[in-house]
């Protein structure tokens, strides 16, 4: 008879799902060490971008990726095909290939079954737009071409399941959650998970017209100010990250570096509104509590919370309430910061990038700061880390991600035993 | 390494329904009253939704309406919305105006209503489902990606069930240079309530075959999942439900996994060995 899939109720060390490869592209750099250095130095990646590039009449602040790195040699042998890729595909391919190389995996060689879960919330909208701006007409013509995740899987030789996952600004975190489920279910031996996003004119315009973006026009590095009393919306960024997830034994057999454990996942929905977060923090707090329970840890064992906090007046206050509800008294002493103050909001790529920030905190034993947090909003009282990094041992980090449509996600990352 | 023996998932399809409407009928469908036995949507909830969201939400309402036995609250259900080509009309109309109109022509509804998550979020928000809500695919592998995403969410004990809602344009959607449709194709939505109650409804089995045999062999061309796979899936579910056939129906994912459904109503179970015939249950 068939066996129902299930997740282990109590994980043994052998059941732990570990992160053995990291790839990142971001406004702060394109390697784990560069990003960790920049985050802990409190460096902002936000700058002024040409208004004309984004169909706007005034200067636009954003956090772009300056240079997309080439995929490491040996992972993507088809240089001609790489050259034909669009910017969104290259932005995803680079960290996917980097994560595989970092983990010492070569898909297509050996018997390991490898999957790919791509967190990308608006692939079609972005692809149609990029094509249109380049003079194409894809959006006007009916096409059924494979999506990016399948093209990239083929390019790097991944033969296992390949799925695109979208949960708006939590997309890449949900990709990590799904990949972990696949390993638990035994569908794959390793899974590449994460997500990236790009800046585009219609995305900036849509968020601007939603009044979600900051309208500041003085100093770009001061525009993203999560939890601050004078916050007025978020700054868009681009980039993201990818990880290789796998069990301990195969990683040990290869001598792979272990960055940490994806120890817990919590997911819920507000079921409240297509755009606005719910002022009742119950469901967002449930995602945090379930992630902690999944990891088998108590609230007072959390050493750092990387907040979703994008800098919107409603969202930051709602999240502060959720953290307080989930952590209880521990919320007064668990350091909290929002790295979006440095990177802007990477949208689909945000959750994965912020998981990189958590791993950086674990590896460097320091909590990255929230820039521009000059005066904490009364509705957001927590143990904030303003302006400068704080030295602090971090064994367990929780990372929140919330998206349009009421998607709530919390990931718990733990120092590998 | 896990073997296929340990990696099959056996789940139940508790209810399902398909809704298909021509583009010209979709406007009316947005405001049409919900079925009597289904929960009410918030007023004018579907007003700004993408066409595929409209048929997807309607399909869920229909499936709730025909849910057998005592109906759960669905509050702890997750939602997977798997679309193919959703948002194209809005995107085309926006892009057609962008060069002359600039950013002000971009509707604030584009991101929340036309992104890949929109269908799942609309089901979650409209019907009060507080499990995870995620979108998948966007392209021709919508059935494959939706199935594996939904079934993998069922691995979480905090998820009582998952609504898988798959949508597509059943015919080619043709647009002029301003993004206005020039034909009247149908939009199709299939909603499936997946639960763990193994003895209820239809059996849904995910058979994890060898990945090496898949290797994205179909990803290099434009066929992807066979055209019409959503319709075939819907038809197979309906036939299994009515007990018309004892044969199982299989959907093969491009990476080699296979999802099979079979009716348990007549005591039929699905043997997990592909080469074996169905056998009568003891």
- The C-alpha R_g of chain A, in whole angstroms, comes to 20
Segment A268-282, tens digit of pLDDT? 999 999 999 999 999
Share above pLDDT 70 across residues of chain B, in percent, rounded to a whole number: 78
**Per-residue pLDDT at A139 exceeds 50:** yes
Q: Mark whether A169 is an active-site residue.
A: yes
Instruction: Please answer yes or no on whether B106 and A205 come within 8 Å at the CB atom.
Output: yes
Distance CA B52, CA A372 (A): 42
Please report the pLDDT score of residue A312 as a whole number. Answer: 97
What's the angle, vertex CA A278, arms to CA A276 and CA A283, rounded to 5?
130
Q: Mark whether A196 is an active-site residue.
A: no
**Per-residue pLDDT at B80 exceeds 50:** yes
What is the mean predicted confidence (pLDDT) over A354-369? Answer: 98
Pairing of strands B202-207, A407-414: unpaired
Distance CA A171, CA B62 (A): 29
**Residues constituting chain B:** 282
Please report the pLDDT score of residue A55 as a whole number. Answer: 63
Q: Does domain A263-414 fall into CATH 3.30.1370.100?
A: no
Instruction: Nearest by CB to A202, from B106, B129, B257: name it.
Output: B106
Instruction: Nearest by CB to A150, from B9, B211, B219: name it.
Output: B219
Residue A82 C-beta-side C-alpha neighbours within 13 Å: 19
Distance CA A299, CA A328 (A): 8
What's the angle, vertex CA B140, arms to CA B135 and CA B143, rounded to 5?
60
- The residues, ordered by sequence, that sit 6+ positions from B99 with a Cβ below 8 Å of its Cβ are none
Please report the pLDDT score of residue B209 as a whole number. Answer: 58
Distance CA A103, CA A96 (A): 11
- Cβ-in-10-Å burial (0-12, 13-18, 19+) of A11 comes to middle
Please report the pLDDT score of residue B276 as a whole number. Answer: 29
Distance CA B239, CA B27 (A): 30
Q: How far is B197 from chain A (nearest CA, A)?
A: 11
Within 8 A of A209 by CB-CB distance, chain B residues are 103-104, 106-108
Cα distance between the two ends of chain A: 37
Segment B128-145, tens digit of pLDDT? 999 999 999 999 999 999
- Helix (H) or strand (E) holding A250, with range, is helix A248-254
Backbone φ and ψ for A219, nearest 5 degrees, come out as -115, 115
Distance CA A317, CA A315 (A): 6
Instruction: Please answer yes or no on whether A2 and B179 come within 8 Å at the CB atom.
Output: no
Map out the domains of chain B with their CATH numbers: 4-280 (3.40.47)
Distance CA A68, CA A294 (A): 36
Please report the pLDDT score of residue B213 as a whole number. Answer: 41
Q: What is the pTM of this model?
A: 0.94
**Per-residue pLDDT at B275 exceeds 50:** no
What single-letter DSSP state applies at residue A370?
B
Within 8 A of B112 by CB-CB distance, chain A residues are 168, 210, 274-275, 404-405
Tally A–B CB contacts below 8 A. 305
Q: Mark whether A345 is an active-site residue.
A: yes
What is the mean predicted confidence (pLDDT) over B67-92? Answer: 94
| Selection from B85, B143, B79 nearest residue B114 by Cα | B85
Instruction: Please answer yes or no on whether B5 and A3 come within 8 Å at the CB atom.
Output: yes
Instruction: Please answer yes or no on whether A161 and B253 come within 8 Å at the CB atom.
Output: yes
**Per-residue pLDDT at B274 exceeds 50:** no
Instruction: Nearest by CB to A159, from B114, B134, B214: name it.
Output: B214
Instruction: Nearest by CB to B87, from A6, A125, A269: name it.
Output: A125
In CATH, what number does A17-254 get?
Answer: 3.40.47.10
Contact (Cβ atoms closer than 8 angstroms) between residue A212 and residue A169:
no
Please report the pLDDT score of residue B156 as a whole number. Answer: 77
Which pLDDT band holds residue B277 (cuts at 50, 70, 90)?
very low
More confident residue, A144 or A226: A226
Contact (Cβ atoms closer than 8 angstroms) between residue A155 and residue A84:
no
Please report the pLDDT score of residue B199 as a whole number. Answer: 59
Please report the pLDDT score of residue A43 as a whole number. Answer: 98
What is the mean predicted confidence (pLDDT) over A129-151? Answer: 91
- Helix (H) or strand (E) holding A204, with range, is helix A201-209
* Catalytic option among A278, A308, A380, A410: A308
- The residues, ordered by sequence, that sit 6+ positions from A416 with a Cβ below 8 Å of its Cβ are A16, A18, A258, A259, A260, A261
Distance CA A316, CA A226 (A): 7
Interface pTM (ipTM) of the complex?
0.96
**Per-residue pLDDT at B20 exceeds 80:** yes
Residues of chain A within CATH 3.40.47.10 domain(s) are 17-254, 263-414
**Per-residue pLDDT at B5 exceeds 90:** no
Distance CA A367, CA A354 (A): 12
More confident residue, B96 or B267: B96
State how far the alpha carbon of A406 is from the alpha carbons of A363, A370, B114, in Å: 32, 24, 15
**Tally of helices (H runs) and strands (E runs) in chain A:** 12, 16
**Residues constituting chain A:** 417
3-class DSSP state for residue B18?
strand
Please report the pLDDT score of residue B247 as a whole number. Answer: 59
Q: Which of A6-10, A115-119, B72-76 has the lowest mean pLDDT?
A: A6-10
Distance CA A49, CA A202 (A): 15
3-class DSSP state for residue B209?
coil
**Per-residue pLDDT at B239 exceeds 90:** no
Please report the pLDDT score of residue A125 as a whole number. Answer: 96
Pairing of strands A114-119, A190-197: parallel
**Per-residue pLDDT at B30 exceeds 50:** yes
What is the mean predicted confidence (pLDDT) over B96-118? Answer: 94
Instruction: Please answer yes or no on whether B132 and A165 come within 8 Å at the CB atom.
Output: no
| Selection from A16, A194, A21 nearest residue A105 by Cα | A21
Instruction: Please answer yes or no on whether B85 and A57 come within 8 Å at the CB atom.
Output: no
Instruction: Locate all alpha helices (DSSP H) within chain B, ordered by sequence.
Output: 23-31, 51-65, 88-101, 110-114, 118-127, 142-153, 229-242
Long-range CB contacts (within 8 A, 24+) of B222-225: B222/A143, B222/A144, B222/A145, B222/A146, B222/B140, B223/A144, B223/B140, B224/A144, B224/A145, B224/A146, B224/A150, B224/B139, B224/B140, B224/B141, B224/B254, B225/B140, B225/B141, B225/B142, B225/B143, B225/B144, B225/B251, B225/B254
**Per-residue pLDDT at A200 exceeds 70:** yes
Instruction: Please answer yes or no on whether A268 and B216 come within 8 Å at the CB atom.
Output: no
More confident residue, A95 or B157: A95
Instruction: List residues bridging with B202 in a β-sheet.
Output: B13, B263
Which pLDDT band holds residue A56 (cuts at 50, 70, 90)?
low
């Amino acid at each position: 008879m068939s066996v129902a899939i299930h997740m282990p109720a109590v994980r043994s060390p052998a059941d732990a799902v570990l992160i053995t490869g990291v790839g990142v592209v971001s406004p702060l750099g394109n390697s784990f060490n560069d990003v960790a250095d920049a985050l802990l130095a409190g460096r902002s990646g936000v700058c002024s971008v040409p208004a004309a590039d984004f169909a706007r009449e005034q200067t636009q602040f954003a956090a772009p990726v300056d240079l997309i790195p080439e995929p490491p040699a040996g992972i993507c042998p088809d240089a001609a095909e790489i050259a034909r890729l669009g910017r969104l595909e290259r932005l995803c391919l680079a960290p996917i290939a980097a994560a595989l190389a970092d983990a010492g995996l070569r898909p297509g060689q050996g018997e390991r079954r490898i999957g790919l879960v791509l967190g990308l919330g608006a692939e079609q909208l972005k692809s149609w737009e990029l094509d249109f701006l380049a003079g194409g007409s894809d959006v006007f013509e009916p096409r059924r071409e494979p999506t990016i995740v399948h093209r990239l899987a083929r390019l790097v030789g991944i033969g296992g399941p390949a799925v695109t996952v979208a949960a708006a600004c939590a997309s890449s975190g949900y990709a990590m959650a799904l990949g972990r489920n696949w390993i638990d279910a035994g569908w794959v031996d390793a899974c590449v998970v994460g997500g990236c996003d790009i800046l585009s004119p219609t995305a900036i315009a849509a968020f601007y017209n939603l009044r979600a973006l900051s309208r500041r026009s003085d100093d770009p590095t001061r525009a993203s100010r999560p939890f601050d009393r004078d916050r007025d919306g978020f700054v868009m960024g681009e980039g993201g990250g990818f990880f290789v997830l796998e069990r301990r034994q195969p990683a040990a057999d290869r001598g792979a570096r272990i960055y940490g454990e994806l120890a817990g996942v919590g997911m819920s929905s507000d079921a409240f509104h297509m755009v606005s977060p719910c002022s009742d923090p119950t469901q967002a707090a449930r995602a945090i509590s379930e992630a902690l329970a999944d990891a088998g840890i108590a609230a007072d064992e959390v050493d750092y919370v990387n907040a979703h906090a994008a800098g919107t007046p409603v969202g930051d206050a709602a999240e502060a309430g959720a953290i307080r509800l989930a952590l209880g008294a521990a919320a007064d002493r668990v350091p909290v910061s929002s790295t979006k103050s440095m990177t802007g909001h990477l949208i689909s790529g945000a959750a994965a990038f912020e998981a990189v920030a958590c791993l950086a905190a674990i590896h460097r034993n320091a909590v990255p700061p929230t820039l521009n947090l000059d005066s904490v909003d009364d509705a957001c009282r927590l143990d904030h880390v303003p302006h400068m990094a704080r030295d602090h041992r971090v064994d367990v980090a929780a990372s929140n991600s919330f998206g349009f449509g009421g998607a709530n996600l919390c990931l718990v990352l733990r120092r590998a035993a | 390494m896990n073997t296929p023996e340990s990696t099959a998932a056996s789940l139940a399809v508790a209810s399902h329904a398909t809704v298909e409407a021509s583009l010209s009928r979709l406007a009316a469908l947005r405001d049409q009253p919900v079925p009597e036995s289904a929960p009410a949507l918030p007023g004018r909830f579907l007003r700004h939704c993408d066409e595929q969201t409209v048929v997807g939400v309607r399909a869920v309402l229909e499936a709730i309406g025909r849910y057998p036995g005592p109906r759960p609250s669905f509050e702890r259900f997750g939602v997977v919305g798997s679309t193919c080509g959703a948002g194209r009309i809005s995107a085309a109309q926006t892009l057609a105006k962008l060069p002359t109109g600039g950013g002000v022509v971009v509707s604030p509804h584009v991101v929340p209503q036309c992104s890949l998550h929109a269908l799942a979020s609309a089901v979650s928000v409209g019907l009060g489902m507080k499990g995870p809500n995620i979108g998948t695919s966007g392209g021709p592998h919508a059935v494959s990606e939706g199935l594996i995403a939904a079934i993998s969410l069922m691995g979480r004990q905090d998820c009582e069930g998952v609504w898988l809602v798959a949508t597509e344009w059943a015919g080619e959607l043709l647009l002029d240079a301003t993004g206005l449709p020039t034909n009247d194709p149908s939009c199709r939505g299939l909603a499936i309530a997946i639960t763990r109650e193994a003895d209820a409804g239809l059996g849904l089995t995910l058979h994890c075959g060898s990945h090496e045999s898949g290797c994205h062999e179909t990803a290099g061309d434009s066929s992807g999942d066979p055209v019409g796979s959503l319709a075939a899936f819907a038809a197979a579910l309906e036939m299994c439900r009515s007990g018309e056939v004892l044969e199982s129906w299989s959907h093969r994912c491009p990476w080699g996994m296979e999802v099979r459904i079979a009716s348990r109503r007549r005591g039929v179970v699905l043997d997990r060995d592909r080469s074996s015939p169905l056998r009568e249950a003891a």
